[in-house]
Structure 1
Amino acid sequence: MSGRHRLTSVDTVEEEGTWLFTVRDEHGEDTEVLLVLCRDPDGDGIEAWVNSCTHESQELYREGVGTVVRDGGIVCPKHGSMFDACSGHCDNGPAAQTTLPSVEVSVEGGQVYLTDDDARFLKQGPSSDDDSDDGPNSTSHLRL
């Protein structure tokens, strides 16, 4: 469906911490995806995960806030579950024993490319232009 599409540079993801973009999936649905750094020596340094906690579909990346990443993990702002940035797996909190859905990307010459055949790049940023400032529905002690 997509072929190969240049998304951004590795340097940009490093500077911003995460990078959000929107794809259209194989079912015609618009899906937000976040790029994160992966410090796994066997990987290429960047992984892409669907921007939704597996527990309650809470956004992991919020426009204007970004994503909370600690100790190599993506933290859900609602309940504090932490997903490994390299594997997407969670072993704590309400999302324990689940894994974030991945989107295939590759890194070449310091550039990040969307290479997932089931996703077509739509745009950088969120799937909608809803500027709602409601923030996450948090029941945890996390502050963003």
Structure 2
Amino acid sequence: MPEGTRIAAVDAVPERGSYLFSVEDAFTNEREAILVPCEDEPGVEAWLNNCPHEDQRFDRGDGAAMRDGEIICPKHGSLFDACEGDCGNGPAAGSSLRPVEIAVEDGDVFLVDDGYTYLKDGGLDDDEGPSSTSHLSF
């Protein structure tokens, strides 16, 4: 079993969406993170739940919008590769998502990133995080 905290079963990650969870960084800042499906092994990746271009949540409680293996920024429509985290289009072109290190074993996903401590399933309850002001819907 990996050294880390179990987040969820791989099967809990929607095929076209995300699994939202909360972590705390080394400075006690609470953050949201998402697990998303990825075609590369181990089948899922984890990222902080916001666009690096403009502080907008991808998953606002009902899953991140995804299309063809890419996470869609709800504000500007920039597309981020779900496996690599890189963006090649729109206002966020040239930026990358902030990774959260995970491991998968026996169908379970574990947080193994030394920079984060697992807090809980779901998002933060404080409403202080970024939220989208976009009119886009998917």
Report what 2:46 is aligned to.
Answer: 48
Instruction: Please give the alpha-carbon distance, in whole angstroms, between the structure 2 residues aligned to 1:129 and 1:27.
Output: 17
Instruction: Give 1:1-144 correspondences, 5 Å limit.
Output: 3-14=3-14, 17-40=17-40, 43-63=41-61, 65-128=62-125, 130=127, 136-138=132-134, 142-144=136-138
Deviation at 1:143, TM superposition (A): 1.3
Instruction: Please give the alpha-carbon distance, in whole angstroms, between the structure 2 residues aligned to 1:18 and 1:66.
Output: 5
Instruction: Please give the alpha-carbon distance, in whole angstroms, between the structure 2 residues aligned to 1:4 and 1:16.
Output: 26
Task: Structure 1: state its 5+ residue gaps.
Answer: none
Deviation at 1:111, TM superposition (A): 0.5
Q: Secondary structure at the match of 1:14?
A: coil
User: What do the CA deviations read for 1:71-119 (whole angstroms, capped 9, x no partner)?
Assistant: 0000001000000000000000111000000000011011000001111
Residue identity (%): 48
Would you tell me which structure has more strand in proportion to its own residues? 1
**CA spacing shift, 1:51–1:26, aligned 2, 3 Å:** same
TM-score computed with the length of structure 2 as normaliser: 0.90
Task: Structure 2: state its 5+ residue gaps.
Answer: none
User: What do the CA deviations read for 1:49-71 (whole angstroms, capped 9, x no partner)?
Assistant: 000101111001011x2110100
Deviation at 1:30, TM superposition (A): 0.3
**CA spacing shift, 1:23–1:95, aligned 2, 3 Å:** same
The one-letter amino acid of 2:68's match is D
Deviation at 1:15, TM superposition (A): 5.6
Please provide the CA RMSD for this pair. Answer: 1.6
Instruction: Please give the alpha-carbon distance, in whole angstroms, between the structure 2 residues aligned to 1:12 and 1:98.
Output: 28
> Which range moved further: 121-130 or 88-97?
121-130
**Which aligned runs of 4 or more in structure 1 are off by greater than 2 angstroms?**
14-17
State how many pairs are aligned.
133
